[in-house]
Amino acid sequence: MDRSALHRQSLFNSGERREDRSFATWMAMDFGRLLGQFGIFGPYWCATNLQRDEVFSAVGCGDIDALFGPLHDRSWQGATDFVAACEIKASKFDGDRGLKRTLENQGQKIVEQLRLLVDRGIDRTAFFHLIVTNPREVPGAGRWSVSGHDSMAAVDAARKRLFNPSELPGCGYFRTSIAALPGVPEYIEGGAGWFDIVEYATDHPSARAPQPWRETLRSLLDSLGDPEFSPCFIRRCDKCDQLYQHPCSIGDHREVERSHEFNCNRGTR
């Protein structure tokens, strides 16, 4: 595959799937720094883009970008006793052209999405702002030097907060970047940038009361069969709309994804 084709496949150029792909790439690179902020250490599960009504019932349309919980002994037992959630947004940083400010008017929407999670009794919540860089070459400069510079500059350019954290006490606010190199996908030879903690995530008092959604979510996980991977990721197939499990590694994830889509096309899923 030529370099121009690889450039088109970069996270910077991934269009509508930028958030999903950027988050999956980040988790494969450096999941520990995010999960540590939620107090999750060791094996875990992560479900992306579950519909709200699948989890909470009767709360309107829309999805939850990412849910996390502990994974014990390759079993869903206790998997929903503690649950954290992220709302995720991905921005683009284009070298000397700077940050593409497409999120500046979305602060109130982000607050509303997070407040719904807090009100429903999710244990910890956070906003996670990912900035992906445009892979570029600068004559006379090493590619890692350019990539590293852009990665740091991207986080610095995103210092303006999209909303005031005081609106959501206890909700985390994190931002980081994914550094791209010319001619190679980020999951093969990219870099996880500086993880900037704007606000720490703490336990929400609303989670102390019994929450019926924990059993609903546990039943949803049980419907997938025993966990096949550790850590275990769960996503919805774009073709058949069914949930399936996949590993954290991007290469292995794509093998599972291709296998699932192959079976979808054959009508065996």
**Tens of pLDDT, residues 100-131:** 766 778 889 999 999 999 999 999 999 999 98
Q: Tell me which of 22 and 222 has the higher pLDDT.
A: 222
Asked if 244 and 235 count as a contact pair (C-beta separation under 8 A), the reply is yes
Task: Identify which of 213, 205, 242 has the alpha carbon closest to the alpha carbon of residue 58.
Answer: 213
- Cα–Cα distance, 111 to 117 (Å, whole number): 10
pLDDT (0 to 100) of residue 3: 46
Look at the pTM and tell me if it is higher than 0.85. Answer: yes
Phi, psi of 199 (to 5 degrees): -140, 140
User: Quick check: helix, strand or coil at residue 92?
Assistant: strand
- Cα–Cα distance, 87 to 66 (Å, whole number): 7
Q: Tell me which of 70 and 247 has the higher pLDDT.
A: 70
Which residue bears the tokens 């995010």?
Answer: 34
Tell me: pLDDT of 240 over 80: yes
**Tens of pLDDT, residues 153-176:** 888 888 888 898 889 999 999 999
